[in-house]
Amino acid sequence: MAFARFIAQIIRLRAHFPDYAIKKVRLDNAGEFTSAAFNDFCMSVGIDVEHPVPHVHTQNGMAESLIKRLQLIARPLILRTKLPITVWGHAILHAGALVQVRPSAYNEFSPIQLAFGNMPNISHLRVFGCAVYIPIAPPQRSKMGPQRRLGIYVGYSSPSIIRYLEPATGDMFTARFADSHFDENEFPALGGGSRESPNDITKWCTHSLAYLDPPSNQREVEVQKIIHMQRLANQLPDAFRYEKGDEVLYPRC
């Protein structure tokens, strides 16, 4: 898997930067990077492979510095939330995305801006571990039931696709960014609450979604009208009979 990802990364870099050839790579002594197939591939495309001395981290100063930087960013991301330390993988990926779009102490431009020459779009960034309300799929919802479910935001796959965790099970799913509602002041716990019931309508009126439908007298009047019309509809018979005959007439829809 690592070999295939490395080849895909080389193809991607060559497509984006055709004027800059990859001449040398430095990798660790993992088995997938020391195989004969890997060496033959690098030799065929003109890439020199360097392997450091085992257990000598100073030879990989740049890589170790980046790893340390990712740890320094990912640690406070986890500590701010109510998530366990087992989500460190999601925090590292989110930290890597932040490193790409933020300037460093050595340069006023971000790495993406230096590579592509354009200002990065950060409108899709949200606070790691915050609450996100995802639309429930039409086959799994009803008209009078809840339309969204709670999730925990843990990053994004692209500016239009986010990743979130199911609070009850910890499973990861994806959703469209434009369809998601975020509450960056709320940080749900993972596995601490009970499983959300699909028939429970009270959770739709949570405090975090109150700004979408603020309470008002007009809203209460409309709700009472809907309830009254529903009661009248339940009292109507399914068919109408007339005294002149036994013919049964069904109301037209």
Q: Decide if pLDDT at 130 tops 60.
A: yes
CA 251 to chain centre: 48
Please state, in angstroms and rounded to a whole number, the distance separating the CA atoms of residues 214 and 197: 24
- pLDDT higher at 220 or 130: 130
Residue range 179-231, pLDDT digits in tens: 999 999 999 998 754 334 334 444 444 455 555 566 677 777 777 777 777 77
Helix axes 36-44, 2-16, angle to 10 degrees: 10
Residue-averaged pLDDT of the chain: 78
- pLDDT higher at 157 or 242: 157
Confidence of residue 153 (pLDDT cuts 50, 70, 90): very high
- pLDDT higher at 10 or 177: 177
The average pLDDT across 164-189 equals: 92
Report the 10 Å Cβ neighbour count for 155: 22
Long-range residue pairs from 49-56, CB within 8 A, at least 24 positions apart, any chain: 49/24, 49/25, 50/24, 50/25, 50/26, 51/26, 51/27, 52/26, 52/28, 54/29
Lowest mean pLDDT among 27-31, 67-71, 101-105, 180-184: 27-31
Decide: 234 and 157 in contact? Cβ < 8 Å. no
Cα angle 98, 63, 72; round to 5: 45
Please state, in angstroms and rounded to a whole number, the distance separating the CA atoms of residues 237 and 233: 9
pLDDT of residue 90: 92
**Rounded to two decimals, what is the model's pTM?**
0.61
pLDDT of residue 65: 82
Confidence of residue 1 (pLDDT cuts 50, 70, 90): low
Please state, in angstroms and rounded to a whole number, the distance separating the CA atoms of residues 93 and 228: 52
Residue range 13-64, pLDDT digits in tens: 888 888 888 888 887 777 767 778 778 888 888 888 887 777 777 777 777 7
Please state, in angstroms and rounded to a whole number, the distance separating the CA atoms of residues 114 and 172: 32
Confidence of residue 163 (pLDDT cuts 50, 70, 90): very high
Q: Using only C-alpha atoms, what is the Rg of the chain?
A: 28
Helix axes 61-80, 88-101, angle to 10 degrees: 110
